[in-house]
A = this chain, B = another copy of it.
Amino acid sequence: MLKNAIVGQSGGPTSVINASLAGVFKTARDLGLTHIYGMRNGIEGLLSERYVDLGDYIKNDVDIELLKGTPSAFLGSCRYKLPHLDKDEDIYKKLFGILEKLDIGYFFYIGGNDSMDTIAQLALYAERINSEIRFIGVPKTIDNDLVITDHTPGFGSAAKYVATSIKEIIRDGRVYDNNAVSIIEIMGRDAGWLTGSAALSTGPDCSGPDLIYLPEIVFDVDSFISRVEEVQRARRSVIVCVSEGIRTSDGNYVCEYTHDASRTIDAFGHKQLTGTARVLGDVVKERLGCKVRAIEFSLLQRCAAHMQSETDVKEAFHVGVAAARAAMDGETGKVIIIKREGEEPYQSTMGSCDVHLIANYKKDVPREWINEAGDYVLEEFISYARPLISGETTPVVVNGLPRHIENI
């Protein structure tokens, strides 16, 4: 008789991470599994035996469609990284004890780098103790910084949100006839994929941002200011996109630059929070004296499911499907990857690769996809990213708002 499956979600939310959950669930069920469990808050919750039987919550195809359009991890998430196998075997014994109790044969973990490390460790331990449980990683991250896979589910929708919102902000920013600088901060602490996708906004109806700064390039405040001045001579309203993770040549994050000073206390008696856009906005205001606006997309860029890319949702679902099939075909210690098969029209297929080749590695935006000055992305970047934001979903709307699946 077939064993049961368990699936967890880990790391930062995306607007399509639940589409992967839906893909795993639907395929495992279609392939005949009776119980498909969901870990609450990832491996951390599982360690406290917090799980649900997903069949109690996903009862029909409508639920599956709602789940695909619901942002953020349906099962809850965690930022817990398993200790190395040789440092704490007890935790592995405990975990495998729980898995055996639930008669688990297939274990799926949807997440980014750290989550793939979890899969690697678990598969290693399974081998060591001759367990037959199969461990498969399902990639997801808006940062798009996993190696080997062409891109990661979550990135396309986040990029669509970023490019659309920037297009709208550029319209708004140019409405007054005055000198102004808008600085827009975008997620991706270590890789500039999402920030670079701001350039997708450029077209016959939009001039796009004027400057784009990625974390792959050392940030220099003085050249930044002179570039802003230069652009301002040509057009009065300047639009700058910056990654939250840009650093100066000494390795410090730009957003850390206020920490020293903010030891000072505000009127309520508290230290202040800061962000990269805010720090740079202060510099522009001081040096150029013009109107400045600092905008953070904050959580919305990763949870704006109303702006899903259809391509992204489909692929997120399919990596889930491929994960379930791979596990039931006997694979373990693998991560599902997306392979780009064609450009016009864009096509992709799913594959799998050894988890050790992916876990703990990071993919930067290639230097040759960034202009020489280091303040914009080139056509290669655009061609790569453009198809990933294509297509729109038609969410279920009730009372004027997208309907999500009900919470657990």
Shortest A304–chain B CB gap in Å is 6
Residues from chain B with Cβ under 8 Å of A298 in the complex: 293, 295-296
Residues from chain B with Cβ under 8 Å of A171 in the complex: 13, 70-72, 303, 404
Q: Mark out the residues of chain A between 244 and 273 whose CB falls within 8 Å of any chain B CB in the assembled complex.
A: 257-262, 264-273
A261 to B264, CA, bound (A): 7
A307 to B400, CA, bound (A): 10
Binary flags per residue of A169-181, CB closer than 8 Å to B gives 1, else 0: 1011111110000
- Is A172 a contact partner of B13 (Cβ separation < 8 A)? yes
- Is B172 a contact partner of A72 (Cβ separation < 8 A)? yes
Please give the count of copies of this chain that the complex contains. 2
- Is A402 a contact partner of B167 (Cβ separation < 8 A)? yes
Interface size class of A (residues with CB under 8 A): 35 or more
- Is B176 a contact partner of A79 (Cβ separation < 8 A)? yes
Q: Mark out the residues of chain A between 66 and 100 whose CB falls within 8 Å of any chain B CB in the assembled complex.
A: 70-73, 76-79
Known: A203-B401, A298-B293, A305-B168. A221 touches B268 (CB 8 A): yes
Shortest A185–chain B CB gap in Å is 11
Shortest A347–chain B CB gap in Å is 16
Known: A401-B201, A402-B164. A266 touches B295 (CB 8 A): no
Q: Mark out the residues of chain A between 10 and 59 whose CB falls within 8 Å of any chain B CB in the assembled complex.
A: 13, 15, 40-41, 44-45
- Is A267 a contact partner of B258 (Cβ separation < 8 A)? yes
A74 to B264, CA, bound (A): 44
- Is A401 a contact partner of B163 (Cβ separation < 8 A)? yes
Residues from chain B with Cβ under 8 Å of A205 in the complex: 403-407
- Please tell me which stretch of A113-121, A274-282, A355-363 contacts chain B, meaning at least 4 of its Cβ atoms lie within 8 angstroms of it: A274-282
- Is B177 a contact partner of A41 (Cβ separation < 8 A)? yes
Q: Mark out the residues of chain A between 277 and 324 whose CB falls within 8 Å of any chain B CB in the assembled complex.
A: 278-279, 281-283, 285-286, 292-296, 298-300, 302-307, 309
Residues from chain B with Cβ under 8 Å of A373 in the complex: none
Instruction: Check if A390 is an interface residue, CB within 8 A of chain B.
Output: yes
Instruction: Check if A232 is an interface residue, CB within 8 A of chain B.
Output: no
Instruction: Check if A345 is an interface residue, CB within 8 A of chain B.
Output: no
- Is A168 a contact partner of B76 (Cβ separation < 8 A)? no
Residues from chain B with Cβ under 8 Å of A286 in the complex: 268-271
A70 to B205, CA, bound (A): 10
- Is A164 a contact partner of B306 (Cβ separation < 8 A)? yes
A221 to B173, CA, bound (A): 33
User: Can you list 12 residue pairs at the A/B interface with Cβ under 8 Å?
Assistant: A72-B172, A78-B177, A167-B404, A168-B304, A168-B305, A168-B306, A173-B299, A203-B401, A257-B268, A295-B298, A309-B400, A386-B400
A257-B268, A293-B299 given; name 13 further pairs at CB < 8 Å: A76-B174, A164-B402, A165-B300, A200-B399, A201-B401, A221-B268, A262-B272, A268-B283, A269-B286, A270-B285, A273-B285, A273-B292, A300-B300
